[in-house]
Amino acid sequence: MKLVFATNNHNKLKEVQALVPDHIELLSLSDIGCNEDIPETQPTIEGNAIQKAEYLVKHYGYNCFADDTGLEVEALEGDPGVYSARYAGPQRNSEDNMNMLLGNLKDKSNRNAHFKTVVALHLNGELKTFTGICKGEITTEKHGDKGFGYDPIFKAEGYDKTFAQISLEEKNKIGHRGKAVQQLIVFLNNL
């Protein structure tokens, strides 16, 4: 089975490829010649995932799945949320985003947060969504050099290391994207 994963983010692609069984051939946006920015204009994480999947089906005709992820911080009333990638501005710079978040939490004792990923699968004309959540907290400083995005400042519940300090395999077991993609894989295996 061929499925397009609606991303040009090589880190995301690598994470998901490590989870997908061999009988599913995963194609990226560049593999199908899609080089434009797919719109993400919905007010929710789920809405953006669905919008991206529907865009691909409409413009390219492939069975596909798309994801959207947000970091929701309790003390900031759910921010950065749907704007996680652009939190510090349109340049989508992880360092800027982390620095802004750490600055906004400087005087806060509540550092509870969770990552939320929604995967929207568009398969043979039907739409299905899968949600993965990973609870944890925001550290006071950056630790580790693995991963991407907010990984150096996010510690999952029950862990003393950030996502940027643990292996990709471990992150995929406990992380938000891994949980959502595992649900997707179970669904695809049961077809």
- Give the pLDDT confidence of 129-140 residue by residue, as tens digits: 999 999 999 999
Q: What is the pLDDT at residue 34?
A: 95
> Does pLDDT of 95 surpass 90?
yes
Mean pLDDT along residues 106-128: 97
Q: Is 68 a catalytic residue?
A: yes
CA distance 160 to 133: 18
Q: What is the pLDDT at residue 138?
A: 98
> Does pLDDT of 147 surpass 90?
no
Is the model more confident about 182 or about 11? 182
Q: What is the pLDDT at residue 22?
A: 84
State the pTM of this model. Answer: 0.92
Among candidate residues 68, 79, 96, 107, the one labeled active-site is 68
DSSP letter at 32 equals: G
Q: What is the pLDDT at residue 63?
A: 96
- E strands, the chain, where? 2-5, 25-27, 64-73, 80-81, 112-123, 126-138, 154-156
Q: What is the pLDDT at residue 93?
A: 95
Cβ atoms of 56 and 67 closer than 8 Å: no
Sign of the alpha-carbon dihedral angle for 50, 56, 61, 65: negative
The encoded tokens of residue 26 equal 């995963």
Cβ atoms of 128 and 119 closer than 8 Å: no
CA distance 114 to 33: 34
DSSP letter at 140 equals: S
Domain 2-189: CATH class, spelled out: alpha beta
> Does pLDDT of 102 surpass 90?
yes
Cβ atoms of 49 and 67 closer than 8 Å: yes
Please enumerate in sequence order all residues whose Cβ is within 8 A of that of 159, keeping only pairs 6 or more positions apart, or say none. 136, 166, 174
Write down the residue that tokens 């953006």 correspond to: 48
> Does pLDDT of 151 surpass 90?
yes
